[in-house]
Amino acid sequence: MDTINGLPAHPLLVHFVVVAVPVTALVAIAIAVWPRARIALGVFPSILALVTLIAVPITTSAGEALEKKVGSTPQLEQHTQLGDELILAVGPLFGLIALLQLLRYPFVTERIPLSDKTIGVVDAVVRVAVVAAAIASLVMVVLVGDSGARAVWGG
């Protein structure tokens, strides 16, 4: 997808990613540190993380198509490289959110041949990992956005 209604798709799609990644990260932190939020939000965090995960490579692909049209500069190369790496933060965030959500269902934890104490430890470790992945996603989206703005507007 190179264009949307005749306009380059990347600048249009990037606005979704710039909003979706921080929202997903903040929701992830909320469900990791506040167990009631995990119950109250149900499957919403997993769906949000999946939509965000799908949007990242679509936006990256549109950016690469735009780069071919406008030509490359060192700043644009840096932006492209960071954009390609964003999936490395958003992918694990999705997986960890899904795992954290699965751990709240008794029909899942009852099938795991581990004690309740061990499952509690696994839950705590996954929560810490969710927060770490959320922070990594936030940092990466800021770095990608900053490098993109510098590539377009200079500075």
122: in domain: yes
Q: 3-state SS of the chain?
A: CCEECCEEHHHHHHHHHHHHHHHHHHHHHHHHHCHHHHHHHCCHHHHHHHHHHHHHHHHHHHHHHHHHHHCCCHHHHHHHHHHHHHHHHHHHHHHHHHHHHHCCCHHHHCCCCCCHHHHHHHHHHHHHHHHHHHHHHHHHHHHHHHHHHHHHHCC
Range in 16-20, 34-38, 48-52, 93-97 the model is least confident about: 34-38
Whether 51 is covered by a domain: the verdict is: yes
Q: What is the mean pLDDT of residues 26-36?
A: 96
- Evaluate whether residue 137 is within a structural domain: yes
- pLDDT, greater one: 17 or 116: 17
Within a domain: 133: yes
Q: Do the domain assignments include residue 22? A: yes
pLDDT band at 43 (very low <50, low <70, confident <90, very high): very high
Range of the domain at 63: 10-153
Question: Is residue 4 in some structural domain?
Answer: no
Average pLDDT over residues 113-119: 86
Q: Model confidence over 77-93: pLDDT tens digits?
A: 999 999 999 999 999 99
Tens digits of residue pLDDT in 139-149: 999 999 999 99
Mean pLDDT throughout 119-144?
Answer: 96
Residue 88 covered by a domain: yes
Domain count, the chain: 1
Q: pTM for this structure?
A: 0.90
Q: Looking at the domain assignment, is residue 5 inside a domain?
A: no
